[in-house]
Amino acid sequence: MMPFPLFRKVGTLAVVLTAFTSVSQQALPKPPPDSAPSSGITFSSRTELVTVPVVVTGKKGKHLTGLKQSDFEIEENGQRREIATFQEITTLDSPMKTSPSTFPLSNFASNGQDQRLVTIIVVDLLNTPFMYQASAREQLLKFLNSHLNQSGPTALTVLTSRGLRLVHSFTTDPAILLEAMKRIESRTAWRDQAEPGQLSNLSTTNAFDESLGMNPTPAQLERGEIAAMQQAMSEKADADYAYFRQRDATLITLSALEQLAQSSDGIPGRKSLIWVTGGLPFTLNDPNSLSGIDSSLMSNYESAWQALNNANIAVYPIDAHGLVPPGIDMQSTRLNSSGSQASFGRRGPNFQLPATQNLLDSMRNFAQATGGEACYNRNDLDECAALAGQDSSQYYMLAYYLPKDDRKPGWRKLKVKVAAAHHEIRARNAFYVGEVKADDAHSIEQQFEEAFSSPLDYTAVPLGLKFADAAPTENGNRKVGFSVFLQPNGFTTDDNWIRLNVHFVATDAKNKSTLVFSKMFKAHLKPDAVADLMKNGFSYNGDILLSPGRYQLKLLVRDDLDGKFGSIAAPLAVN
């Protein structure tokens, strides 16, 4: 958590005239004579467009190209939906290019002209037992050595108990990622520390029986009862400890998924997320039915799924255990005296480390819900990683509109059909419709804190930023001017409303973070003004006060109409 109140309401603007400056002042063309008057136009982007990337392969995994829109059908909860847009996409493996800009700092992920083959690698040390981490890294090194020349921009991240860490940003240079991968060191996973036997003694199955002879005396009975009570208390302590470690791992994992989605949302098209892991910290039967997760984390779970859907991320979970002989439980190396894995109770539902089958089912269901492919029980994990890149090299992007009278929040099942012989389809089989409601102040504060703490720049709201030279003030501080630019179509309008929440956070050399600028822009605009902003983008000019020194500044912009974020981190020296 951040050591300062990041969110605070500072008022609103009724009309954006002085706050925002349109980048282009050119007049809009006059409408044709038979058009409706502009005063009757309402701009709204809240119409739900569901995008579904679809990979279609034939025999031997070769992509089927040249299919038409008429070859596809989409069903949502068993109801056929009319495909509104259709595009066959072949991605490039060259570096991503951004549009030229007068703003030297930006989070522009792409110019949107050509789509890239984008891959994100997550080395999950949080959920992977220590004994399997080294072999998983070796397989990834093998993948990078043999396949990365055929891949596009690839980013490398690692997940630990401290959260998500960026090892290296997007690059197409294999040598750089190889060196970065070698710097990743093994760490103890939560399962290593939460197995039965941390606090209890599993060398015996029944402490009470062990303490008794054939003809127990009253003293022996008393000692046996005490021993049994001590054992039960120890096992309960084990259960409680394991439960809280699992809850913490679940929260960190969901947060990482949402951060990855927010950071890649601005990159057009399908993205492949290679998740090398020892398993999810919860059991996933299907996206709408899961166990082993604290009910208080359901909003985090739904938020992560919605972000993954919006960003068109296909997850490829790779089981770090590799090929496991039959009869070996991957989740535990500690057995009780009967040779079976121990389980025990706690307050509420019983805690039990997921069995091997549950682990594999969860990985498979997670992949299918996002349009990816799970890889498990095999030792050629490098080939599994290569599949993720192959899938995104060519695919079809389908989209349809949700009916206006069918916006009930919850999970929707998807099914894509293709009129082609001997084919295999990879497309997400579910998506989540979020509830349209105003977030409370506490929820927004948490979202800002997570965006601030993330090592990744969020790209869902594309931003440009530049600073002016610092000017002295009477009290010895410096006034630093800034200009923030929002790209055309980079924000949401709803019935001509815009709602943007802008924060600047400065972190000094002593790692003290301070909120130095906070403003809420809420405006109901005339249609012509909205059209101009959506076409040309707009900028806001302001000032922040800082004392002389070196800072790490972070700009955070939240679009309050859809909950998406944009962020830019930049160093700043104030003289």
Residues 32 and 133 grouped into a single domain: no
290 pLDDT band, cuts 50/70/90, is: low
Q: Is residue 435 part of a domain?
A: no
Give the domain CATH number at 454.
2.60.40.3880
> pLDDT tens-digit profile of 368-397?
999 999 998 877 777 888 888 889 889 999
Identify residue 106 by its one-letter amino acid code. Answer: S
Contact between 491 and 559 under an 8 Å Cβ cutoff? The reply is yes
> pLDDT tens-digit profile of 428-469?
998 888 776 666 788 889 899 999 999 999 999 999 999 999
Return the pLDDT at 399.
Answer: 95
Question: Beta-carbon neighbour count of residue 559 at 10 Å?
Answer: 20
Residues 355 and 484 grouped into a single domain: no
Q: Which residue has the higher pLDDT, 243 or 545?
A: 545
Residues 357 and 300 grouped into a single domain: yes
Most confident of the following: 24-28, 124-128, 292-296, 532-536: 124-128
Range of the domain at 166: 118-191+247-330+351-394
The mean-pLDDT minimum among 99-103, 261-265, 504-508 falls in: 99-103
**Averaged pLDDT, 196-217:** 52
> pLDDT tens-digit profile of 46-64?
567 899 999 999 888 899 9
As a whole number, the mean pLDDT across the chain is: 79
Residues 147 and 279 grouped into a single domain: yes
Residues 388 and 493 grouped into a single domain: no
The residue among 162, 39, 48 whose CA lies nearest residue 434 is: 48
Question: Beta-carbon neighbour count of residue 422 at 10 Å?
Answer: 8
Return the pLDDT at 83.
Answer: 96
Return the pLDDT at 351.
Answer: 43
Residues 48, 76: Cα–Cα separation, whole Å: 14
Which residues are registered as beta bridge partners of 502? 519, 557
Q: Of 394, 411, 427, at which residue does a domain stop?
A: 394
pLDDT of 72 strictly over 80: yes
Token look-up 């997550």 returns 122
Residues 381 and 455 grouped into a single domain: no
Give the domain CATH number at 261.
3.40.50.410
Residues 184 and 319 grouped into a single domain: yes
Q: Is residue 479 part of a domain?
A: yes
Distances from the Cα of 286 to the Cα of 72, 172, 315, 431, angstroms = 24, 35, 15, 11
Residues 377 and 526 grouped into a single domain: no
Return the pLDDT at 436.
Answer: 60
**Averaged pLDDT, 533-540:** 86
pLDDT of 355 strictly over 80: no
Total domain count for the chain? 2
